[in-house]
Amino acid sequence: MSRQKKAVGIVERRVLETRKGFNKKRWQELFDNPPKSLQDPINNETFRVDPDAFRKYLQYVYDMVHKTLDVFGLFGGIEGSGKSTDASQVGYEFYFIMCECNVLREDLGTWYEWTDKNCLGHNLDAFLDLCDKYNDDLWRIIICDEAGDLKSEDRWEDANKMFRDEMRKDRKKLRVRLLCYPQPFELVKDFTMGRTNFIRINRFSLEKDGMGSIPDVVDMIIIPRGDYTYSFITKELVPRGQIKGALKEVSKERYTSEFPRKFIFKTMKKDNVFCFDAEEYIKRAKEENRLRKKQEKVYLSNNLIELIANHLTAGKMGFSTKKPDESLTRDERQQVEEERRKAFLISKLINTCRERLKKIEEKANK
């Protein structure tokens, strides 16, 4: 085996195998003639597909496979406007594309079933658990049904910090991560400004008889990877800098300001079709939220805080942060990764105790 082949890691090798088998002909067929609708695989209901948004998802999938770029999407809108429904449809469109273009394949071990259990977490903790569960898997589509813990004011909370840490280092996992929250402009800026590819704001339209409103309209914002994107509102190219500037301005007054329509990629209609099993979705939502409420805080005495801060390290407990060697088996690598995770948790505990001890000493010296 040549040096070059030896230098290629397991993840890179699987990406290269996927590239070789990528069905470019089918990808081009879908780009030239996007489907007008798709059928939800759970309930066999049909929902409309916007051709221009679908072409964007096609490009994102192509970039995932050939340029090792991951995908982040945000879904906003007031309560009842259909964020979860929209995210389930967009997630399934990505899944459909990846199946059609031979990205998800049983012979490569990349295929997985489109289910609520495989693809959706009902809060940020459950979402992170899914990311951890499928740590070694590529091309995963993972949806967060309630991303409120990513608000800017909560940026120092554990789940928020963990998400941003993983966001920075996990690009090569090549995931599609879709997050729902009523006001996405409240979320941390290093995420919305630095990594988000698109934002979909769900809203209501009036029924024809004028007697009510229905949640069937989506305003889609594209944050382009290149210098420009096209706006179907103004019928012209919009510079990336102007879109990011508008995002920054809206974020300053996130509760009252609306995104300027001239920077919106397109306004489109959507159907009320939920692409997961609704009963299973409700059951898992209750269970995940119940478990979250049951999490208990651990209170440490000042003496124990001082002992941990001054004398404990992950190394002394026998845990290492060293990355697993690529020559190890899958089970061995998973064991090493588990030890690394524990080492980082211990380090987080130690750092928290050190910060607390510093505050205790500062207070005592006043």
Which residue ranges make up each domain of the chain?
3-293, 299-365
pLDDT at position 207 over 50: yes
Among the listed residues 309, 360, 314, 357, the one whose alpha carbon sits nearest the alpha carbon of residue 339: 314
Coil vs helix vs strand at 61: helix
pLDDT at position 5 over 50: no
**Average pLDDT for residues 197-203, to the nearest whole number?**
94
State the amino acid at position 290 in one-letter form.
R
Average pLDDT, the chain: 84
pLDDT at residue 143, rounded to an integer? 95
Q: For 140, what's the count of Cα atoms within 13 Å in the CB-facing half-sphere?
A: 25
Give 52 or 294, the one with higher predicted confidence: 52
**Helix-, strand-, coil-residue percentages of the chain, each rounded to 5:** 50, 15, 35
Cα radius of gyration rounded to whole Å, the chain? 23
Among the listed residues 46, 38, 45, the one whose alpha carbon sits nearest the alpha carbon of residue 97: 38
Looking only at the bridges linking them, the beta strands covering 46-48 and 37-39 are antiparallel
Whether the CB-CB separation of 68 and 175 falls below 8 Å is answered with no
In this structure, the chain runs to a length of 366
Residue 245 sits at the vertex; the CA angle it makes with 244 and 247, to the nearest 5 degrees, is 60
**Cβ neighbours around 16 below 10 Å, total:** 11
Give 274 or 168, the one with higher predicted confidence: 274
Q: Per-residue confidence at 221, pLDDT binned at 50, 70, 90? A: very high
**Average pLDDT for residues 46-74, to the nearest whole number?**
95
C-alpha distances in angstroms, 152 versus 160, 187, 247, 255, 350? 9, 5, 14, 13, 25
pLDDT at residue 94, rounded to an integer? 98
pLDDT at position 209 over 80: no
pLDDT at position 54 over 90: yes
Q: pLDDT tens for residues 309-327? A: 787 777 777 777 777 776 7
What whole-number percentage of the chain has pLDDT above 70? 87
What is the Cα–Cα distance from 189 to 347, expressed in whole angstroms? 26
Max mean pLDDT range (4-18, 125-139, 150-164, 166-180): 125-139
pLDDT at residue 210, rounded to an integer? 58
Among the listed residues 99, 91, 145, the one whose alpha carbon sits nearest the alpha carbon of residue 123: 145
Which range, of 17-26, 286-295, 324-333, averages the lowest pLDDT? 286-295
- Look up residue 116 and give its two tokens: 């609520």
Give 54 or 157, the one with higher predicted confidence: 54
**Cβ neighbours around 307 below 10 Å, total:** 14
- Look up residue 303 and give its two tokens: 């003496």
State the amino acid at position 281 in one-letter form.
Y
Give 195 or 219, the one with higher predicted confidence: 219
pLDDT at position 301 over 70: no
**Average pLDDT for residues 141-146, to the nearest whole number?**
92
Whether the CB-CB separation of 95 and 64 falls below 8 Å is answered with no
